[in-house]
């Protein structure tokens, strides 16, 4: 998109939007960037963001983004997330990749995105909202970005096991425990 190239050269519009953000939490920051990007695409219209779906007083879920693409003549539902996971034992299984919270792992996050969050449009409670918005022919997608961190030894040796279905060009870094860092000899 040419407009995004222009923003690279003169980012004042983006910077103004970022300065007005009420939260500095990474997930909200990522959503703000996605919203900014979507709003500057020529083929996207009618962006709805963070629309909660309720069953009486209970929130069932939230559509991160709903928008219309006139070129494809379709409405899209995007669930977006940015996550960071550590490889605990150099295995490809999703459950072996843990997040900042000990109760969080890649397996649980993907399951929630695939089986719950991206399926919100199929909930009975979503039907009236979608009909009122004139939304039909909805396509749900997941936009998941982030980093995978490998233990320093594996990272340096290039003997790493990426999570199943991860892009071969995914962003990556390394980690070490505090005890390992304390044992490094200073020269």
The predicted model scores a pTM of 0.84
- Torsion from C-alpha of 131, 134, 135, 136, nearest 10 degrees: 80
pLDDT recorded at residue 62: 94
> Higher-confidence residue: 186 or 129?
129
In what helix (H) or strand (E) does residue 177 lie, and over which residues does it extend?
Answer: none
Partners of 62 in the β-ladder: 52
Q: Per-residue pLDDT for 187 more than 60?
A: no
Q: Per-residue pLDDT for 1 more than 70?
A: no
Confidence of residue 169 (pLDDT cuts 50, 70, 90): very high
CB-based contact 168:160 (threshold 8 Å): no
Q: What is the pLDDT of residues 79-110, one digit of tens each?
A: 999 999 999 887 888 888 999 887 889 999 99
Confidence of residue 183 (pLDDT cuts 50, 70, 90): confident
Sign of CA pseudo-dihedral 114, 117, 123, 127? negative
- Going by C-beta distance under 8 Å and a sequence separation of 6 or more, which residues neighbour residue 24? none
Q: How many CA atoms lie within 13 A of 163 on its CB side?
A: 24
Q: Average pLDDT of 33-55?
A: 90
| SS3 per residue for 58-92 | EEEEEEEEEEEECCCCEEEEEEEEEEEEEECCCCC
pLDDT recorded at residue 89: 83
Confidence of residue 118 (pLDDT cuts 50, 70, 90): very high
> Higher-confidence residue: 141 or 39?
141
CB-based contact 150:87 (threshold 8 Å): yes
| SS3 per residue for 141-167 | EEEEEEEEEEEHHHHHHCCCCCCCCCC
Please tell me the distance from the alpha carbon of residue 36 to that of residue 179, in angstroms, as a whole number. Answer: 42
pLDDT recorded at residue 158: 82
Q: What is the pLDDT of residues 125-156, one digit of tens each?
A: 999 899 999 898 899 999 999 999 999 998 99
């Amino acid at each position: 998109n040419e407009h995004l190239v222009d923003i690279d050269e003169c980012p004042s519009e983006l910077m103004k939007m970022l300065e007005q953000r009420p939260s500095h939490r990474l997930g909200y920051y990522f959503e703000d960037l996605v919203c900014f990007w979507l709003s500057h695409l020529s083929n996207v219209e009618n962006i709805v963001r963070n629309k909660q779906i309720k069953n009486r007083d209970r929130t069932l879920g939230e559509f991160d983004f709903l928008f219309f693409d006139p070129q494809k003549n379709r409405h899209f539902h995007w669930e977006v997330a940015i996550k960071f996971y550590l490889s605990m034992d150099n295995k490809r299984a999703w459950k072996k990749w843990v997040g900042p919270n000990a109760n969080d792992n890649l397996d649980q996050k993907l399951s929630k995105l695939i089986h719950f969050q991206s399926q919100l449009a199929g909930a009975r409670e979503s039907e009236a909202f979608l009909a009122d918005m004139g939304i039909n022919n909805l396509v749900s997608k997941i936009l998941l970005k982030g980093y995978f961190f490998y233990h320093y030894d594996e990272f340096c040796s290039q003997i790493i096991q990426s999570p199943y279905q991860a892009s071969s060009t995914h962003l990556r870094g390394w980690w070490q425990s505090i005890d390992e860092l304390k044992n490094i000899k200073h020269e």
